[in-house]
Amino acid sequence: MLLRKGIAFALVHVLLQIQCCFSDINRGSFPKGFVFGTASSAYQYEGAVKEDGRGLTVWDTFSHSFGKIADFSNGDVAVDQYHLFTEDIQLMKDMGMDAYRFSIAWSRIFPNGSGEINQAGIDHYNGLINALIAKGIEPYVTLYHWDLPQALEDKYIGWLNSSIIKDFAAYADICFQKFGDRVKHWITFNEPHTFAIQGYDVGLQAPGRCSILLHLFCRAGNSATEPYIVAHHVLLSHATVADIYRKKYKQQQHGTVGVAFDVMWFEPRSNSTDDVEATQRAQDFQFGWFIDPLFFGDYPSSMRSRVGSRLPTFSKAEAALVKGSLDFVGINHYTTYYAKNSTSNIIGNLLNDSLADSGATTLPFRNGIPIGDRANSIWLYIVPHGIRSLMNYIKQKYGNPLVIITENGMDDPNSPFISIKDALKDEKRIKYHNDYLSNVLASIKEDGCNVRGYFAWSLMDNWEWAAGYTSRFGLYFVDYKDNLKRYPKDSVQWFKNFLTST
């Protein structure tokens, strides 16, 4: 069945490729009320890391550790949106965007993660929110986009300790209290799967914990257990916060609470039963790991059977709290891979990490042929039909919940040999958004998927975590050599035309 669907969607993809450059989709093609926006995060955008009482975060520590970032950079300045948000909001307004997704830095509100509130942090986000609303742009606020206060990492190893649930809930409560009269769309967590794996399994992101090859790469951690513990505490934290919002604020503020999940689409490498089943396991260990408890009250059965006692359990009360705690499903989708059954666990046993538990290998190649054209990032292959397949999967498995595409985009290289004039000619990005949006539209109109919004990553080039400044995802070019000046790429004009045509 999965293979037949894959073939069908591949045919759709071919047709869209033929039509892409002549596509006449625009805002008017989408249902009334469909939201278009851009997305960002605090550590990648704000800078000003030592200003106005902000506390240190695990990413401050990690990015200043030798060899962790590709170009040895950090987010101390980023693109300085802390000081330039008024100008940046005007850029969004000029494009015709409806909304802006940004994150609040926990350590600006509570510099030590808990305890005394930092009023300067409250004032800053009030100013940002008010400036957005004054321009008719709806704020979509992420509470946690990976920047854990370093004080909580030092105090009790952060997400590995259940104490984090109480502290995160207190932080979220203050945000609801201070900003909820104007913010109606809350995202508790951004990509919990990413920071559980990258931060606690392979150690490539903050806080850089792993046990791969007997701690050769990380000073501390247990790759076989810690990602599951972190994920468990994240789910309980989300559910606790959603419960607080519903009981204390929803009646007056009328907002919604969701999570932004990172989700690749996977297609079977062959039509063999083993590969088809491995494809489902790959999805279980990526997406199902986090969304199944929120819809069904427990982890996927494939995880229970394969991970065993290393996978935490929910009490009856916890399962009841977690189940049904989502008002909408946020999807950060960029690419599609093939999945095949993993017949050998030699590498997995050697590494002793959670990635081997699924028994599935996922790669963007089949018989040496890539699944699609590659962007700059080594992991990002352009496969537009994957987003339509994913929307249908969510519709069928989870009862067609309200979905918002909270991130979608592609990057170009940041090369000293590419002039600004040439860097602004981003036809590949235009084609990417055109083709992915065409597939989103098809999922809505032809397949009946309940998709209500699309946020492009990102408004402008920014600091891209372990890739530093080597990667440019922005619609606006940022000149890092000249006071962070913003220049519109051709994709800005494309979006402007798209959003003003009906």
pLDDT tens string 285-304: 999 999 999 999 999 999 99
Q: Is the dihedral of CA 51, 56, 57, 60 positive or negative?
A: positive
Annotated catalytic, 318?
Answer: no
**What average pLDDT does range 203-221 have in this prediction?**
90
Annotated catalytic, 191?
Answer: yes
Q: Is pLDDT above 80 for 206?
A: yes
Q: Is pLDDT above 50 for 13?
A: no
pLDDT given for residue 52 in this prediction: 98
CB 91 within 8 A of CB 85: no
Percent helix, strand, coil in the chain, to 5, is 45, 15, 35
Q: Is the dihedral of CA 251, 101, 393, 281 positive or negative?
A: negative
Q: How far apart are CA 335 and CA 321, in angstroms?
A: 32
- Judged by phi (left if over 0) then psi (alpha if -120 to 50, else beta), residue 73 lies in beta
Q: Is pLDDT above 80 for 377?
A: yes
pLDDT given for residue 19 in this prediction: 39
- Between helix 2-19 and helix 273-283 the angle, nearest 10°, is 70
Q: Is pLDDT above 50 for 130?
A: yes
pLDDT given for residue 501 in this prediction: 84
pLDDT tens string 407-464: 999 999 999 999 999 999 999 999 999 999 999 999 999 999 999 999 999 999 999 9
User: CA nearest 131: which of 90, 191, 192, 171?
Assistant: 90
**What average pLDDT does range 309-333 have in this prediction?**
98
Q: How many CB atoms lie within 10 A of CB 208?
A: 21
Backbone angles phi, psi at 493, to 5 degrees: -65, -35
Q: Which of 153, 191, 267, 318 is catalytic?
A: 191
In order of start, what are the domains of the chain with their CATH numbers? 26-500 (3.20.20.80)
pLDDT given for residue 15 in this prediction: 38
Q: How confident is the model at residue 14 (pLDDT cuts 50, 70, 90)?
A: very low
Contacts of 364 (CB under 8 A, 6+ apart): 335, 336, 337, 338, 370, 371, 372, 374, 379, 381
Q: Which of 153, 226, 318, 407 is catalytic?
A: 407
pLDDT given for residue 20 in this prediction: 41
Mean pLDDT of the chain: 94
- Report CA dihedral (347, 353, 355, 356) to the nearest 10 degrees: 40
pLDDT given for residue 1 in this prediction: 45
Q: Is the dihedral of CA 253, 254, 259, 263 positive or negative?
A: negative
Helix or strand (DSSP H, E) at 376: none
pLDDT tens string 240-252: 999 999 999 999 9
pLDDT given for residue 17 in this prediction: 40
Q: How confident is the model at residue 214 (pLDDT cuts 50, 70, 90)?
A: low
Q: How far apart are CA 380 and CA 20, in angstroms?
A: 20
Q: How far apart are CA 199 and CA 191, in angstroms?
A: 12
pLDDT tens string 94-126: 999 999 999 999 999 999 999 999 999 999 999
**What average pLDDT does range 304-310 have in this prediction?**
97
CA 293 to chain CA centroid, Å, is 19
Q: How far apart are CA 279 and CA 361, in angstroms?
A: 9
DSSP assignment of 274-340 equals HHHHHHHHHHIIIIIHHHHHHHHSS--HHHHHHHGGGS----HHHHHHHTT--SEEEEE---EEEEE
pLDDT exceeding 70 applies to what percent of the chain?
A: 93
CB 181 within 8 A of CB 140: no
How many residues comprise the chain? 502
- What is the pTM (predicted TM-score) of this model? 0.94
CB 455 within 8 A of CB 99: yes
CB 204 within 8 A of CB 63: no
pLDDT tens string 489-500: 999 999 999 999
